[in-house]
Amino acid sequence: MDLAELIGIAQQELSSHKAVQIRCCVAAGCLSANSQAVKQRLEETVTTENLAETVEVRGVGCMRLCCQGPLVQVEGVRSGEDSSQSTQCTSANFCILYEKVTADDAPSIITALNGGETTVQRGDLTHPFFTSQMPIVLENSGKVDPESIQSYIAAEGYQALYHVLREMSANEVVDVISRSGLRGRGGAGYPTGIKWATVAKAKAEQKFIICNADEGDPGAFMDRSVLESDPHRVLEGMAIAAYAVGANQGYIYIRAEYPVAINRLQTAIRQAQRFGILGSQIFDSRFDFKIDLRIGAGAYVCGEETALMASIEGKRGTPHPRPPYPAESGLWGYPTLINNVETYANISPIIRKGADWFANIGTAKSKGTKVFALAGKIRNTGLIEVPMGTSLRQIVEVMGGGVPDGGVVKAVQTGGPSGGCIPASAFDSPVDYESLTQLGSIMGSGGMIVMDESTNMVDVARFFMEFCMDESCGKCIPCRVGTVQLYKLLTKITEGKASLTDLELLEELCDMVKHTSLCGLGQSAPNPVFSTLRYFRDEYLKLIG
């Protein structure tokens, strides 16, 4: 396949679009609310009303405002209609978002196309939840059909890969990613370009790349949504990375609890192979690349890169000390590049639009955007993508709409069990790697759980410690035993049976677990305790009495 054929597929797909497009969310959140039945009823109504020549119904990925699902968006060209433009709309001159749609609502949505009345609740596309977003990773989510490679190609898909394979050297690709300032979105924020350069320079007969899709943080659904909504984007990012570092085999390690994402990835891989975009001599180049899936059994520790690689190799998923790092000796002892879903999803737009474009977004040290999963005691739960440096207040109170029913936000927890709880008094802080670290939390993969004034922060610390205790692989004593003792101390405090001596012991034990555990799970397990002690110590003292 050459560029002309690629553009031809895109033009053919675009020319097949009808004047009116009805997009129905079929990501996991809306599917759980029966959106598949909504889509089917919409299709049936279009047929019975003889509108098939001008109206099409399409299943798409996440439309972000998950709390209002199932979501249906209607776009089209119609005279005399005002446009409602946002990051969710294209250049159509009318764009309507319907919320909490049921199968019985479908006929009235079709009727409304001809000026009829509908009682279906409309969403506000001018709300800051939508208008404050800057979609890079999510630019196709809610727009392309995740099960159609033609739909992805029509959205400029695989053009970056073609450009890389036919017009750039591997070193030039690494240089572009380095200059963009992209940092790993899996949590640690390690510079992506440095990691790629290290693997590229390694001398070995075989190299591997891995996509870490083992998203295990409670309340996090960013990677799942990207894979369900735009799987080809991740495949393209992996292929570009493989070319840059000299690998010809890739693995996507994904947890079994994501069946929709798994099915769509399998479909995307088959389609890419059929189109010659995965396999041998891609785009008539000398580059060969294959991607396989590996399904994880749900162990949280397998999100740690050395445990993940052990699991792919068929061993028990437990971490091992570093060095050597995977870039030097990873999968089966060969140099291995590991990035997460969101990192790979940034690669194609960086290649298409340039390193300088990406580097001009965000802050001095945290470039680009970040995808967050907003959850908890907040009005607008769902998926957002904002520039690095956006304040917590903008995210929680403006975009998220604050606590429902007039409640007051007390804190937000970022970074999953490895993160910390940030009080409302610090909400003017920007969201970037350095600022969150100073506040006693971390970026993590992007989970953001909001808590209101009714939340007991000691209970929050206890909940996350219980999670870490249950998910400990047991390989090292500080984590295996330390998390259990920390959980028991926190339980003793919540039951009102603890003394000040127990509080001192809690702090000492947290410090020990942090500095002596083998891997990141144990080292970061005390973070929720540290942060709640830092900002909400009075709640501990009140329980101790």
Q: In this structure, are 208 and 352 located in the same domain?
A: yes
SS3 70: coil
The answer to whether residue 54 sits within a structural domain is yes
The answer to whether residue 4 sits within a structural domain is no
pLDDT at 82: 47
Q: Which of 452, 477, 492 is a domain's end point?
A: 452
pLDDT at 356: 98
pLDDT at 90: 58
pLDDT at 81: 46
Asked if 237 and 158 touch (Cβ cutoff 8 Å), the reply is no
The answer to whether residue 440 sits within a structural domain is yes
Q: What is the SS3 string spanning 22-49?
A: EEEECCHHHHCCCHHHHHHHHHHHHHHC
The CATH number of the domain holding residue 478 is 1.20.1440.230
Q: In this structure, are 313 and 197 located in the same domain?
A: yes
Q: Phi and psi (nearest 5°) for 290?
A: -130, 145
**Tokens found for residue 456:** 């007991």
Q: In this structure, are 213 and 252 located in the same domain?
A: yes
Q: In this structure, are 446 and 516 located in the same domain?
A: no
The secondary structure of residue 243, as a DSSP letter, is H
Which amino acid would we find at residue 100?
A: K
Q: Mean pLDDT of successive 10-residue segments in the chain (545 residues)?
A: 88 93 96 97 95 95 96 78 52 83 94 86 95 97 96 96 97 98 90 97 97 90 96 98 98 96 98 96 96 94 94 94 92 97 98 98 96 96 97 97 93 91 96 93 89 96 95 93 97 95 96 94 93 96 89
**Tokens found for residue 80:** 């005399």
Q: In this structure, are 224 and 340 located in the same domain?
A: yes
Q: In this structure, are 289 and 396 located in the same domain?
A: no
Q: In this structure, are 430 and 476 located in the same domain?
A: no
pLDDT at 516: 96
SS3 208: strand
Break the chain down into helix, strand, coil percent, rounded to 5: 45, 15, 35
The answer to whether residue 144 sits within a structural domain is no
The CATH number of the domain holding residue 41 is 3.40.30.10
The CATH number of the domain holding residue 437 is 3.10.20.600
Separation CA 94–CA 200 (nearest Å): 48
Residue burial 171-203, b: 16+ Cβ < 10 Å; e: rest: eebbbbbbbbbbbbbbbebebbbebbbbbbebe
Separation CA 424–CA 452 (nearest Å): 10
The answer to whether residue 138 sits within a structural domain is no
Separation CA 342–CA 357 (nearest Å): 18
**Number of domains into which the chain is organized:** 4
Separation CA 368–CA 408 (nearest Å): 31
The answer to whether residue 143 sits within a structural domain is no
- Of 345, 41, 90, nearest to 222 by C-alpha is 345
The answer to whether residue 290 sits within a structural domain is yes
| Domain housing 209 | 149-359
Q: Which of 300, 332, 359 is a domain's end point?
A: 359
The answer to whether residue 537 sits within a structural domain is yes
The CATH number of the domain holding residue 227 is 3.40.50.11540
Separation CA 214–CA 38 (nearest Å): 30
Q: In this structure, are 177 and 305 located in the same domain?
A: yes
pLDDT at 240: 98
Q: Phi and psi (nearest 5°) for 391?
A: -75, 155
Q: Which of 432, 452, 472 is a domain's end point?
A: 452
- Of 246, 244, 248, nearest to 176 by C-alpha is 244
Q: In this structure, are 469 and 435 located in the same domain?
A: no
Q: In this structure, are 245 and 355 located in the same domain?
A: yes
pLDDT at 91: 55
For residue 266, the tally of other CB atoms under 10 A from its CB is 12
Q: In this structure, are 438 and 469 located in the same domain?
A: no
Q: In this structure, are 230 and 309 located in the same domain?
A: yes
